Amino acid sequence: MDIWYTRFLHSFILVVLFAAAAAKPYSNNNFTPYIYTSIEPGRDSVDMLSGISARIKNDKIYINWRVTNLRVINYFNIQRLDPKSKEYKTLNKTSRVKFDDYYEKSNDGNGFKVFKYDYEDDPEVDGVYFYRIRSFSVGDELLFTSDDIKIGISGLKNFKLEQNHPNPFNPVTSITYELFDDSYIKLKVFDLIGREVATLVDSKQGAGTYSVEFDANKYSNLTSGIYFYKLETEKYSEVKKMILTK
């Protein structure tokens, strides 16, 4: 059978199976794949995507896939659908998944080698995410693009808190954070034993990125050492460490 016809047939079967599997419920309380498909390769199949899954653990999304009869593939990249532009964008372009980055290798019932791979994504906000996998040759020729796979996640923080800069600092440092939706927030600084040193923000703010300065000279009796800053919204909070050097 012609290899390109075989790949077309497999892709068609994947579409059908993905559509059927998408209706299956998913629970965040375990590590069970959201959907998983498995295709039996033909005897002349090479570099075939024979399975793909998405699952959640510890607020991260794990994409797992397997390739049967690896021959030409040199690396993979993982793309995620951008909800604003409605276009797929490659995640972490500087860190490709190379052909030899598999976490498990085995033989299937037909004697083919099966290589299993995974990728960890750290989404920032609750929502439904769409992913797809693309494989490339040594010469960067696109070999295949998988059908998309969908998974939803909830319970994530509604903000992103950056490490202060500079750190260590004397006497001024900047604290940057991003709000993903309108929130009432508090940004406070504490000393090493938990005493409040300063309240930098205590108000409702709209979605967006903010930067606040902490000037140690404005507060009496601050000595060199470790301090903490805490960002708190109605539902979530996060604490980071900073160091004052005088």
Answer yes or no: do 184 and 146 share one domain. no
Instruction: Out of 90, 118, 153, pick the residue that ends a domain.
Output: 153
Answer yes or no: do 172 and 90 share one domain. no
Assess whether pLDDT exceeds 80 at residue 39: no
Answer yes or no: do 10 and 101 share one domain. yes
Answer yes or no: do 197 and 116 share one domain. no
Domain that holds residue 217: 159-244
By DSSP bridging, strand 225-232 and strand 183-190 are: antiparallel
β partners of residue 75 = 98, 136
Average pLDDT over residues 105-124: 91
Average per-residue pLDDT for the chain: 84
Answer yes or no: do 145 and 24 share one domain. yes
**Confidence grade of residue 92 (pLDDT, cut at 50, 70, 90):** confident
In whole angstroms, what is the distance from residue 113 CA to residue 8 CA? 21
Instruction: Out of 153, 177, 194, pick the residue that ends a domain.
Output: 153
How many C-alpha atoms does 23 have within 13 Å on its Cβ side? 4
Answer yes or no: do 230 and 147 share one domain. no
What pLDDT shows up at residue 59?
A: 86
What pLDDT shows up at residue 231?
A: 97
Here the CATH number for the domain that contains residue 234 is 2.60.40.3080
Average pLDDT over residues 99-121: 93
pTM for the full predicted model = 0.61
Q: Over the stretch 182-209, which tens digit does the pLDDT of each residue have?
A: 999 999 999 999 999 999 999 999 999 9
Answer yes or no: do 19 and 94 share one domain. yes
DSSP H/E element including 4: helix 3-21
Assess whether pLDDT exceeds 80 at residue 22: no
